[in-house]
Amino acid sequence: MKRLFSVGQPLPGVPLILLIVAAVSLLQLPANYILVSVSKNAGIVLNEIVVILLLPVSLLYFLGFDIFKVLVFRRTKNAVLVSAMILSVPVAMLIDYAASASELAFPLPQRYRDIMEGIMAYSGAAGFIVKYFILCVLPGFCEEIFFRGVCQTSLEARWGKNAAIFVTAALFAILHGNPWYIHLYFLLGLFLSWVYAESGTLWAPIICHLVNNSWTFANHALRIEYPLKGFGSSVDIAIILGGIVLAGAAYASFKHFIRREKMYGLKRA
């Protein structure tokens, strides 16, 4: 049994990771009940901190795994983090356009839309700060530690880089519990998993996740919806093309700084 779950090894085995994912998935039920029936803020905080962060990390710690090998917060150049942050802006925008296109075929039910509106609602400047922390900062930190840290790091050690990226992205999409947007969460998960695999530090996907959620929250606060005029309008076509160009430039910059960092590391070694 210890060998099956890799207890005593630096990283947990795949069966243990899948059991943890199943436990986190089941615990979404009481967290969602609190969110819908008691308090939206309390439900989100409970889910992010207790279920997604503390439960998996505490379990691995008490089972004797090397937390510093599971959660890789390697120092990296600021240029790597900044280029990843810039890249996440057009990615978030293009996903917004993809979400609007997706709703033409699979519209979000009104009840679910009302729940989402209620989750992002706030009152006054203090309410905005509290909601920003709950919806942007907490998920960016807690979810990246769980998905990219606990899951992807362990899966990559057993299955390799590419398989870990795809499986982690799939788990990220499934556990968000929105069947109408599951493909969009999968795309976001692929991006975040790829950023982590390339950078080798959790700081990069945490920053990208924070930027993505900040983009969504800011657009909601400003009542901005995409497309602005319509998919066939010159304004939206220009925005989409501009987003693709910016994404390509930021991607090239990110890869450039990653290569420089690796070369610098090799020279120092």
In a domain, 81, yes or no: yes
Q: What is the mean pLDDT of residues 197-225?
A: 97
In a domain, 135, yes or no: yes
**108 has pLDDT over 80:** yes
In a domain, 90, yes or no: yes
**Beta-carbon neighbour count of residue 181 at 10 Å?**
21
Task: Write the single-letter amino acid at 41.
Answer: N
**E-assigned strand segments in 22-139:** none
**46 has pLDDT over 60:** yes
Q: Are 231 and 98 contacting, i.e. CB atoms less than 8 angstroms apart?
A: no
Q: What is the pLDDT of residue 197?
A: 97
In a domain, 58, yes or no: no
Say which range, 19-23, 254-258, 265-269, has the weakest mean pLDDT. 265-269
φ, ψ of residue 201 in degrees (nearest 5): -145, 140
Count of structural domains within the chain: 1
In a domain, 24, yes or no: no
Secondary structure class of 7 (helix, strand, coil): coil
In a domain, 12, yes or no: no
Q: What is the pLDDT of residue 268?
A: 38
Q: How would residue 230 be classed by pLDDT, with cut points 50, 70 and 90?
A: very high
Task: Say what the pTM is.
Answer: 0.95
Residues 6+ apart with CB under 8 A from 55: 20, 23, 24, 27
- Distance of alpha carbon 39 from its chain centroid, rounded? 23
**186 has pLDDT over 70:** yes
Q: What is the pLDDT of residue 261?
A: 87
| List of long-range contacts for 225-233, beta carbons under 8 Å, 24+ apart | 225/100, 226/93, 226/96, 226/97, 226/99, 226/100, 227/97, 227/100, 231/97, 231/100, 231/101
Please state, in angstroms and as integers, the Cα–Cα distance from residue 89 to each residue in 163, 217, 223, following that order. 26, 13, 18
**269 has pLDDT over 90:** no
**How does pLDDT run across 238-258, given as a tens digit for each residue?**
999 999 999 999 999 999 999
Q: What is the mean pLDDT of residues 77-99?
A: 97
In a domain, 123, yes or no: yes
Task: Write the single-letter amino acid at 116.
Answer: M
**Beta-carbon neighbour count of residue 110 at 10 Å?**
8
Q: How would residue 267 be classed by pLDDT, with cut points 50, 70 and 90?
A: very low
In a domain, 16, yes or no: no
Range of the domain at 169: 70-268
Secondary structure class of 185 (helix, strand, coil): helix
Q: What is the mean pLDDT of residues 221-225?
A: 94
